[in-house]
Amino acid sequence: MRLIGSVAELRELRRSVQLPGSLNARGSVGLVPTMGALHQGHESLIQRCRQECELTVVSIFVNPLQFGPHEDLSRYPRTLDQDCQRCEQLGVDWVFAPESLDPGSAQEAQSGRMMRVMPPPELLRPLCGSFRPGHFEGVLTVVAQLLHLVQPQRAYLGQKDFQQLVLIRRMVRDLWFDTAVVGCPTIRDPDGLALSSRNRYLSPEDRQQALGLSRALSAAQDALAEANLRAEDPSAEAILAVAGRVLAQHPDLRIQYLELVDPETLQPVERIGHRALLAVAAHMGQTRLIDNLMLEAHARH
């Protein structure tokens, strides 16, 4: 495994694998973008990338552009040595961990004088977009930089950050990036909590409360399955009420949103149709957590 600390080094190496015949028949470069503090969720993306690509690149970069002024940039976990060990064990070829991705000065980037990728407003209004102004602009800008630098044929992203996945797919389509975006399932702890680098902020008591998120999602899924068995097509309102009742049993969770949306447009739906995404965000103490589940309607009896 090679640890790459600068853009210049990455560029040089990337050019060397562009030489004809330097990659074998599968020939593709795969990118797994992360902010580090790697867990099994990240590992699942890396493993998939290893299976499908000739060269696996993991980027580790805590992107300042995607944090709001009152968010957890300064305390975000940074565990580069452990992350590199994990990557080595997983057979990663390159870890790209730059200090900075600002081509100009840091002040220029922070003061908003840097070029940014602007997401379409209708994909920004739902879910996290309205609660985290500037967040997705920051994500897309850095992902665009990484795609340009690494030039991967495939990029692996988690469905856990569903709105991010939808926005990156859209950016790749609209700006003609030559990269296939591969969405990968959410990995959970056995009790249901979706893995996240931020889970390490949670005390054991916080964690119990945080389980309300995944419990609410599965209660909604069960309610949908039962309704389908009775040949009913429940309204979004009914499904949201089921999830809402479970969340209410976890009073320390401060819910930001609970929404049932179309998985492509992210607009709210009134009925599930074939499938709809149930997504939730909440604060547990200082820690912001998100989760989602694709609700699938089953054939009526």
Find the binding residues for ligand AMP in span 142-161 (CB under 6 A): 157-158, 160-161
Q: Does 34 bind ligand AMP (CB under 6 A)?
A: yes
**Between residues 45 and 289, which has the closer beta carbon with respect to ligand AMP?**
45
Q: Does 211 bind ligand AMP (CB under 6 A)?
A: no
Q: To the nearest whole angstrom, how small is the minimum distance from the Cβ of residue 263 to ligand AMP?
A: 15
Q: To the nearest whole angstrom, how small is the minimum distance from the Cβ of residue 168 to ligand AMP?
A: 9
- For residue 127, the number of C-alpha atoms closer than 13 Å in the C-beta half-sphere is 30
Q: Does 132 bind ligand AMP (CB under 6 A)?
A: no
Torsion of CA 271, 272, 276, 278, to 10 degrees: 70
Catalytic residues: 42
Q: Does 141 bind ligand AMP (CB under 6 A)?
A: no
Site size with ligand AMP, rule: CB under 6 A: 17
Find the binding residues for ligand AMP in span 169-188 (CB under 6 A): 184, 186-187
Q: Does 196 bind ligand AMP (CB under 6 A)?
A: yes
**Between residues 186 and 228, which has the closer beta carbon with respect to ligand AMP?**
186
Q: Does 83 bind ligand AMP (CB under 6 A)?
A: no
Q: Does 214 bind ligand AMP (CB under 6 A)?
A: no
Laid out side by side, the sheet with 287-296 consists of: 253-261, 275-284, 287-296
Residues of 220-256 as b/e, b for ≥16 C-beta within 10 angstroms?
bbebbeebbeeeeebebeebbebbbebbeebeebebb
What single string gives the DSSP state of each residue in 37-80?
Answer: S--HHHHHHHHHHHHH-SEEEEEE---GGGS-TTSSTTTS---H
For residue 268, the 8-state DSSP code is B
Among 14, 31, 44, 213, binds ligand AMP (CB under 6 A): 44
Q: Does 288 bind ligand AMP (CB under 6 A)?
A: no
Query: How far apart are alpha carbons 81 and 135 in whole angstroms?
Result: 27
Q: Which residues bind ligand AMP (CB under 6 A)?
A: 34-35, 41-42, 44-45, 157-158, 160-161, 184, 186-187, 194-197
